[in-house]
């Protein structure tokens, strides 16, 4: 990420250069939206949060020290705003696997088996939609801390060091949190796959097959 460009744009935006601020928005809006969407899983809310991020950035640009990267600051704001939103809107307790509890659990290798049902029939639109919903639901079952660390690593491709700076946690905590997040995500995917299999088994036979019977 060219930090030098950011510094220049931030400097100009601080002086009130609207073009520079718009350039920063254009550069980061997709990334910010991706994080917000991953966190809140609602396109409209994610868009609102993304806009709010830039409003906050503009308001507090004068307070930005410049010693950390601009995107680190930006990512921290979007993660925090998303977490605030989740906490406000939470209707039910998320499946927040406590890290301490997980450490006491045996390392069951079964949970690392890729749920084959998620890869099945990828060309069929219906299946794809269903698959997307299942992935979304599995991800939604994670705690917000686990979601944040997974998105920053898997979607934004940030290093442990960068994630640590964004979330203001130690690098060791990033590694351990990522491990537990992945494990929980895998378990949730397996659960979704199992439920999908059961739903398909319970579904009635397609009408096309039955229509052929009288003529046969």
Partner 1 sequence: MNRLDCEDAGKLIERHLDGELGASGSLRLARHLERCERCRAKRDALQAQSRLLRAHIQAAVDEADFTGFEDRVMQGLAQQPSAPLFERMRIWLREALYHHRAIWITSLATAAILLAVLLPLLGEQSRAPQPEPGTPPARHEPHPRESVARANNELIIDSMEYGGQRSMIFTVSRNHTTVIWLYDFDETGPADGQGDDL
- Nearest approach, Cβ of 207 to partner 1 (angstroms)? 30
Q: Which long-range contacts (CB under 8 A, 24 or more apart) does 99-102 make?
A: 99/176, 99/177, 99/180, 102/180, 102/183, 102/184
CA distance 142 to 99: 12
CB of 96 vs partner 1, minimal distance in Å: 14
Query: What minimum distance in Å lies between the beta carbon of 2 and partner 1?
Result: 20
Q: Are 107 and 183 in contact (CB under 8 A)?
A: no
Spatial contact of 5 and 11, defined as CB atoms under 8 Å apart: no
Q: What is the largest CA-CA distance in the chain?
A: 80
Q: Is 78 helix (H, G, I), strand (E, B) or coil?
A: helix
Question: Closer to partner 1 at the Cβ: 104 or 213?
Answer: 104
CB of 94 to partner 1, least distance (A): 15
Query: In terms of CB distance, is 129 or 210 closer to partner 1?
Result: 129
Between 126 and 202, CB nearer to partner 1? 126
Cβ nearer to partner 1, comparing 87 with 104 = 87
User: What contacts 62, CB < 8 A, 6 or more positions away?
Assistant: 14
CB of 108 to partner 1, least distance (A): 11
Shortest Å, Cβ 213 to partner 1: 39
Task: Select 5 or 60, whichever has its Cβ closest to partner 1.
Answer: 60
Q: In whole angstroms, what is the distance from residue 140 CA to residue 41 CA?
A: 7
Q: Residues 70, 61, 28, 129: is their CA dihedral positive or negative?
A: positive
* Whole-number Å distance between alpha carbons of 136 and 130: 10
| Nearest CB to partner 1, comparing residues 51 and 197 | 51
* Cα angle 176-178-183, degrees, rounded to a multiple of 5: 100
């Amino acid at each position: 990420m060219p930090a030098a460009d950011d510094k220049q744009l931030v400097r100009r935006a601080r002086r009130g250069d609207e073009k520079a601020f718009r350039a920063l928005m254009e550069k980061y809006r997709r990334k910010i939206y991706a994080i917000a969407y991953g966190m809140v899983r609602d396109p409209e809310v994610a868009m609102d949060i993304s806009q709010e991020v830039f409003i906050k950035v503009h308001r507090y640009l004068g307070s930005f020290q410049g010693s950390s990267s601009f995107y680190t600051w930006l990512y921290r704001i979007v993660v925090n705003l998303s977490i605030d939103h989740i906490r406000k809107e939470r209707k039910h307790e998320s499946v927040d696997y406590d890290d301490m509890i997980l450490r006491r659990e045996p390392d069951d290798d079964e949970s690392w088996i890729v749920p084959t049902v998620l890869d099945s029939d990828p060309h069929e639109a219906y299946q794809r939609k269903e698959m997307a919903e299942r992935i979304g639901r599995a991800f939604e079952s994670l705690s917000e801390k686990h979601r944040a660390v997974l998105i920053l690593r898997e979607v934004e491709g940030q290093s442990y060091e960068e994630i640590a700076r964004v979330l203001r946690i130690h690098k060791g905590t990033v590694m351990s949190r990522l491990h537990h997040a992945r494990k929980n995500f895998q378990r949730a995917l397996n659960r979704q796959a199992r439920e999908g299999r059961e739903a398909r088994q319970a579904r009635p036979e397609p009408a096309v097959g039955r229509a052929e019977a009288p003529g046969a």
